Structure 1
Amino acid sequence: MKPIILFDGVCNLCNGFVQTIIRVDPQGKFQFAALQSEFGKEVMTKAQLPVNELNTVVLYSNGKIFTHSDVPLEICRLLGGFWRLFLIFKLIPRALRNRIYNWVARNRYRWFGKSESCMIPTPELRQRFL
Structure 2
Amino acid sequence: MSVEENNTVVLFDGVCHLCDRAVLFILKKEKSSAVRFAPLQSETGKKLLRKYGYPESYLDGLVLIENKRAYDRSSAFLRISGKLKFPWNLFFLLLPFPKPLRDWIYKMIASLRYRWFGKKESCALPQGHDPSRFL
Give the TM-score of the pair, scaled to structure 2.
0.87
**1:69 match: secondary structure:** helix
Q: Which residue, 39, 46, 62 being the options, matches 2:44?
A: 39
Q: Which residue of 2 aligns with 1:114?
A: 119
Structure 1 residue 120: deviation in Å?
Answer: 2.8
Name the CA distance, whole Å, in 2 between partners of 1:84 and 1:21. Answer: 11
Q: Which residue of 2 aligns with 1:19?
A: 24
Structure 1 residues 2 and 23 mapped into 2: Cα distance closer, same or farther (>3 Å)? same
RMSD: 1.7
Name the CA distance, whole Å, in 2 between partners of 1:48 and 1:90. Answer: 22
Name the CA distance, whole Å, in 1 between partners of 2:126 and 2:116. Answer: 24
Higher helix residue share: 1
Q: Which residue, 70, 79, 98 being the options, matches 2:75?
A: 70
Q: Are 2:12 and 2:62, in contact at CA under 8 Å, matched by a contact in 1?
A: yes
| Equivalent AA in structure 2 for residue 18 of structure 1 | V
Name the CA distance, whole Å, in 2 between partners of 1:126 and 1:29. Answer: 13
Following TM superposition, the consecutive aligned residue runs of length 4 or more in structure 1 with deviations greater than 6 angstroms are none
Q: Which residue of 1 aligns with 2:108?
A: 103
2:53 paired with 1:51: no
Which range moved further: 53-62 or 87-96? 87-96
Q: Are 2:30 and 2:83, in contact at CA under 8 Å, matched by a contact in 1?
A: no
Q: Count how many residue pairs are aligned between Structure 1 and Structure 2.
A: 130
**1:78 match: secondary structure:** coil
Query: Any stretches of 5+ residues in structure 2 without a counterpart?
Result: 1-5
